[in-house]
Structure 1
Amino acid sequence: MLTMIGKRLLFAIPSLIGVVIVTFLLTRALPGDPAAYFAGPAATKEAVEQIRKKLGFDKPLIEQFFRYTNDLAHGDFGTSLTTGQPVAAELRSRLPASAELTLLGLLVSIVIAIPLGVLAATRPGSWIDHLCRVTTTAGVSLPVFFTGLVLVYVFYFRLGWSPAPLGRLDVFYSTPPTVTGFFLIDTLIARDFEAFRSALNQLILPAVTLAIFSLAPIARMTRASMLAVLASDFVRTARASGLSPGKVIVTYAFRNAMLPVITTLSMVFSFLLGANVLVEKVFAWPGIGSYAVEALIASDFAPVQGFVLTMAVMYVLLNLIIDILYGVIDPRVRLEG
């Protein structure tokens, strides 16, 4: 297992190097001049050139790249021109908000999608099978930002059941002492149950928005994988041996059907990292997605580069976790690694 983990980490290094190069080149190719943006519309050409020189944009592209990679090697992601703060510190403070939202959305979708897919596979043609198909079709068809806007309109504007989508906590509650950065956990550690309820209420709609988006592929893959396994020879043998239907499904079929589902979970999580950007803007969520969008609008290169690199590292770590889960579920993976 350790050998497999080492190989995966070694193979991830070229990918991260490629992400750094591509991100650097793409940000430089974007339209707009950061120096002109921050100098203002009334600035003279000399003032713009002075700002460009101060930012180092007057240097050759290759020199800018080596300077950027040297800073990365020392853990320096640069400084945001819009906020004046180090990008690494901004990402570190905002990452827990994005992680809490994404993980809760994924957890909600897993809790709903996997049982729904299993029930649909064990009862083909039933009402729950049709419900699974309708739900997955709706989840694939609806854009994530549209789903969020509809939920806000219905549950906040029309029914008044949800609080105003203005961040992680209601304005009447103070931020809990930072332990994990996850407000649901930190409020419980601080025994501030009113703040916990406020944090949970603020999380429900954005998490459900992400869950609807990610529920469809998980449920469809679970149903398809379970149908394939239930039609296999070893399941028919287990049934012929007199085992109970529940034991056949849980012990034999479900475990063997989980490998493709886990692969789907890794892809869904990567999709959620992208969809999280739109959800954060809809719900005014102070995560790294909204931070990157604001920086992109302002042609602020450093936060965008830091955001993309952070997403790449998270994706590499996610794939490593998936490989470890493969080894737990199927010992043959450990032997091959």
Structure 2
Amino acid sequence: MRGVLWRLAGSLPALAAVVVVTFILTRVLPGDTATYFAGPTASAESIAQIRTALGLDRPLPEQFWSYVVALFHGDLGMSLTTGQPVLVDILARLPASAELTLCGLVLAMAVAIPLGIIAAVRQGSLADHACRVIVTAGVSLPVFFTGLLLVYVFYFLLGWSPAPLGRLDAFASAPPTVTGFYLIDAALIGDWETWRSAFAQLVLPAVTLGLFALAPIARITRASMLAVLGAEFIRTARAAGLASRTIILTYALRNALLPVVTTLGMVFSFLLGANVLVEKVFAWPGIGSYAVEALIASDGAPVQGFVLTMAILYVALNLTIDLINRALDPRARQA
């Protein structure tokens, strides 16, 4: 517990740096918020009035101090594009991004970990070559290209997938919000028609993220299993006559999971970043598309709120990975 608290305290300077950097960048990037919202025909006086109303005419240190004070009160500012508080917008859109990211990660794990194990156990086999091809393809293909390719093939050519226009089709209504995850909320009330609609809309974007995440997971699983299978205790277990299944799944896999779990944390972070492109391709109403729309509109508060939310998620994710590693490795619990 003490190690977790130290790690949490050590992450506070990083969060402070994120706050400072995002504030400065939203002020120095091209584009004028007041000019954008005043419109192309607005006069200079109208633009100046809007800038004064938004507080953009004040010195930067004063603006930053007001922003920090608001943060300590849980206020991320107001979104000019939606007219809602940024915190309300993020809390409304975060479940959509989380559901998509988790489904993509689970899909990648379901394929990559068994594939990496088989590739390590049967070196030079067809599975080993397939693992290398998939890893190379996953690293080489940009995530937005994969998404557009899947839409073209499965929606435009084959017609198997619904239109990539959000979390539900036009004839379905959102289930009552419990978790914000449509699959879970629809299942809780037994609305299987909405569940099927949400699942159908989720398949292609989840596969897109899964293909992106599959490569590093499969590669680290294969490398970690190869290292463990060559260890002394594995040779001892073989000499003792233990079954290959027991050696691989009970002894080798557990020891190989530590670097895999660490990699899963990094992959999840990458997926949160890749979500921005995938959400735009599939019109997914998550926080990634929300931040892009705000950035285009020179709306700084949502961009700052998005970056700060991602930083907090990264810190929480790293702490979770530390706890899992401590549970898997007795040596980490003693440190």
Query: Which TM-score bucket, shorter chain as reference?
Result: over 0.9
Q: Match of 2:256, SS?
A: helix
1:182-193 pair list within 5 angstroms = 182-193=181-192
> What is residue 153 of structure 2 aligned with on the other side?
154
| Aligned residue number for residue 91 of structure 2 | 92
Q: How do residues 108-147 of structure 1 correspond to structure 2 at under 5 angstroms?
A: 108-147=107-146
Alignment partners' CA distance in 2, 1:117 and 1:309: 35
Q: Does 1:73 align with 2:72?
A: yes
Shift of 1:123: 0.1
Structure 2 CA distance, aligned partners of 1:129 and 1:271?
25
Aligned to 1:163: 162
Alignment correspondent of 1:298: 297
Residues of 2 paired with 1:18 and 1:333: CA distance?
Answer: 29
SS at match of 1:131: helix
TM-score by length of 2: 0.99
Paired residue type of 1:121? A
Structure-to-structure mapping, 1:1-337, within 5 angstroms: 2-336=1-335
Unmatched 5+ stretches in structure 1: none
Residue 133 (structure 1) shift: 0.4
Offset at residue 207 of structure 1 (A): 0.1
Can you list the C-alpha shifts for 1:217-244, whole angstroms capped at 9, x where unaligned? 0000000110011111111111111111
The one-letter amino acid of 2:45's match is E
Report Cα offsets for 1:168-211 as digits up to 9, x if no partner: 01111111000000000000111100000000000000000000
Q: CA deviation at 1:142?
A: 0.3
The number of residue pairs the alignment matches comes to: 335
Output the amino acid matched with 2:166: G
User: Match of 1:330, as an amino acid?
Assistant: D
Q: What one-letter code is carried by the residue in structure 1 that aligns with 2:285?
A: P
Q: Which moved more, 1:248-257 or 1:304-313?
A: 248-257
Q: Is the 8 A contact 1:222 1:257 kept in 2?
A: yes
Give the CA deviation at 1:20: 0.5
Question: How far apart, CA to CA, are the structure 1 residues paired with 2:234 and 2:27?
Answer: 57
Q: Which AA in structure 2 matches 1:188?
A: A
What letter matches 1:252 in structure 2?
Y
C-alpha RMSD of the superposition = 0.6
* In 1: Cα distance, 2:334 partner to 2:49 partner: 60
How many Å apart are 1:251 and its aligned residue? 1.5
Task: Give the CA deviation at 1:263.
Answer: 1.2
- Describe the SS at the equivalent of 2:284: coil
**TM-score normalised by structure 1 residue count:** 0.99
Alpha-carbon distance between aligned partners in 2 of 1:301 and 1:117, rounded to the nearest angstrom: 43
How far the C-alpha of 1:45 sits from its partner, in A, is 1.1
What code does the residue aligned with 1:239 have? R
- The Cα shift of 1:85 comes to 0.7
What is the Cα deviation at residue 247 of structure 1?
A: 1.0
Gaps of 5+ in 2: none
Report Cα offsets for 1:43-69 as digits up to 9, x if no partner.
Answer: 111111111010000010011001000
Q: Structure 1 residue runs of 4+, over 2 Å off?
A: none
Deviation readout 1:289-322 (Å, 9 max, x if unpaired):
0000000000000000000000000000100110
Contact 1:4/1:334 (CA < 8 Å) preserved in 2?
A: no
Shift of 1:88: 0.3
Q: Distance in 2 between matches of 1:315 and 1:97?
A: 18
Aligned equivalents of 1:198 and 1:41: distance in 2? 41
| Percent identity over paired residues | 67
